[in-house]
Amino acid sequence: MSRFELFSPEGLRVDGRRYNELRAFDCSINTHPHSSDGSAYISQGNTKVLCLIRGPSDTLTTTSGATASSADEPTISVSIIQPPYATTERKSTSRTDRRMAELSIIIKRALQQCIVKKNYSRTLIEVSITILQLDGSLLPACINAATLALIDAGISMYDYISACNVALYDTFPLVDSNSLEENDLSFLTIGIIGNGDKINLLLMEDKVPLDKLQKLIDLGITGCHNIRQLMDNVVREIGIDLLSKKL
């Protein structure tokens, strides 16, 4: 059992947030203009993720000939690197780690849905994600970073895809969970394209009573919208900045 009081009777969490407060959200795009076509750095609290995008580029003719399948949509490849220094325990995750493989498939599928596929037939979009520091909400941070990097790369998308985690403490949902909360509580990852109520990504690995799901999803959707707004603000700011420079 944890020494920490994850959610105090006064309604404060371990790091002093209220249930519906996101952690400090900071992002910047075009961080690596020379090494990539699009890049973004995102920090949600102590979770810091870097995403670089190369592409859209020509698909290499692969030995397997699988490119035939990509006649009307881009091939998206996602690789995730988690260096040993990302977490407090210096444990290196192998590239063949099944969890990471799953994570990259999930991210790929989520992105596939929000990229305007028809514009990128027979192209390759490489997404590489580096986890610089991990303090919970890994998948959301990766997806948010990838969205921003895709925007930076100028790849046409229907809308932002934003994601966030919601943990469940007793009956209280807690948005944007950190690793302390994720270790002790069950949590749910939710991803949304745009500003609607339609869920693109929903992932949960721990036990949650069925009747609590609604609460979690509702708060998650709000969290996603908030994150989308935060990202949008930054992108627009940078856009205005770029425009003024051009003129």
Question: Which residues contact other proteins (rule: CB under 8 A)?
Answer: 62, 64-77, 79, 95-102, 104-106, 108-114, 116-117, 158-159, 188, 192-211, 213-214, 217-218, 221, 239
Hey, what's the torsion of the CAs at 201, 215, 18, 162, to 10 degrees? 20
Closer to other proteins by CB, 203 or 238: give it: 203
Closer to other proteins by CB, 50 or 76: give it: 76
Closer to other proteins by CB, 34 or 207: give it: 207
- For the sheet with 123-133, list strands across it: 25-29, 38-44, 47-58, 123-133, 75-81
From the CB of 245, what's the least distance to other proteins, in Å?
A: 16
From the CB of 19, what's the least distance to other proteins, in Å?
A: 19
Closer to other proteins by CB, 9 or 209: give it: 209
H or E stretch including 120? none
From the CB of 178, what's the least distance to other proteins, in Å?
A: 21
Q: Are 142 and 185 in contact (CB under 8 A)?
A: no
From the CB of 72, what's the least distance to other proteins, in Å?
A: 6
Closer to other proteins by CB, 43 or 114: give it: 114
Residue 211 DSSP one-character state? G
- 206-244 b/e with 16+ CB inside 10 Å = b? eebeeebeeebbebbbbbbbbbbebbeebbeebeeeeee
Nearest CA among 163, 140, 146, 136 for reference residue 41:
146
Contacts of 135 (CB under 8 A, 6+ apart): 45, 46, 47, 178, 179
From the CB of 53, what's the least distance to other proteins, in Å?
A: 14
Closer to other proteins by CB, 35 or 61: give it: 61
From the CB of 9, what's the least distance to other proteins, in Å?
A: 26
